[in-house]
Each structure stands twice: as structure tokens, then as C-alpha cells.
Amino acid sequence: MAEALAGIVCGYGLALVATPLAAIALLRARATSPQLQRLLPEGTSLIAVSVILHTFIFLTFTALGGLLGLLLAGLDGRSPEGGLGSPNRAFTAFIIATAAIAVVPLALFASRQRLPLLAGGLLFAGVFGWLMPYLAQWGPGGG
């Protein structure tokens, strides 16, 4: 149970960081994208975009965090050894591999967005791969 709660907390924290960054990126990308110019016309409030984005990002990241927490709980019972700077080496390796598979191909082809994509992948791996196992240990019922 502590693992799922840690995942939800990490997902919510990541959503709080990602929402304003995504809103600003969308409004900046509007200058070069005709689709975004129609979707977000000039004068669109950054706060309104942030509220809509936060709803989606919050639900997505907290659900993902809860699922990753359940995965961490399952791996803790089978493979609890530490490594890679984490209390659960197998889980952290899985998160690093998942982030790399999701981000590296996009970063190779989107040269203008390379730095934000790599930073987002590192943030994802750091929050879910390292912070979440420690939060699960520190939480109620944790090891």
C-alpha cells in the first residue's frame, strides 16, 4: 500500500512541475503551428490552458504513479535488493529503460525539442525510479 501511495504522490508532484512547462511550450509552439493557432488563438489565457492541461496531466501521472507503485510492490517481494542508488535495482532499471525507450527516439528526430525531452525523461526517471522507492520505504508500512 505504501508503494501505491508513494507513486500517486510522485505522479502528483510531477504533474505540478509539468503543467506550467507544458502550457508555456504549447503557447510558444503556437507561433509556428497552424493547427495550434486555430486551437489556441491569440489572446488565449495561459491560466486557462494550464487548468485544462493540469486536469489531464494530473489524472494521467497519478494513475501512472499508482500503477508503478503496484509494480514496485510486486518487485519488492521478488527482487528487493538495492542498486543503482535505489532500494530496488530491478524497478529503477525498468524505469530508466522505459524513459529511454520513450524519450531517446523522439529526441533524435526532434532537434528543436531535444533538451526539453531529455530533461523530461531525466525528471521522470528521477522521480519514479529513485524518489518513489525511497518514499515507499519512508511511508506507512514501508520497509
Note whether residue 73 is domain-resident: yes
What distance in Å separates the CA atoms of residue 140 and residue 91, rounded to the nearest whole number? 20
Name which of 44-53, 70-79, 96-105, 126-135 the model is least confident about.
70-79
Note whether residue 81 is domain-resident: yes
As beta bridge partners, residue 83 has: 86
In the numeric block, which cell numbers belong to residue 118?
Answer: 531529455
Interval 52-76 mean pLDDT: 91
What distance in Å separates the CA atoms of residue 96 and residue 89, rounded to the nearest whole number? 10
Q: Please tell me the total count of domains within the chain.
A: 1
For 109-127, write each residue's pLDDT tens digit.
988 888 888 988 999 999 9
Residue with the bigger pLDDT between 28 and 130: it is 130
Note whether residue 96 is domain-resident: yes
Cβ atoms of 92 and 72 closer than 8 Å: no
Cβ atoms of 76 and 88 closer than 8 Å: yes
Note whether residue 86 is domain-resident: yes
Residues spanned by the domain of 116: 2-138
Note whether residue 143 is domain-resident: no
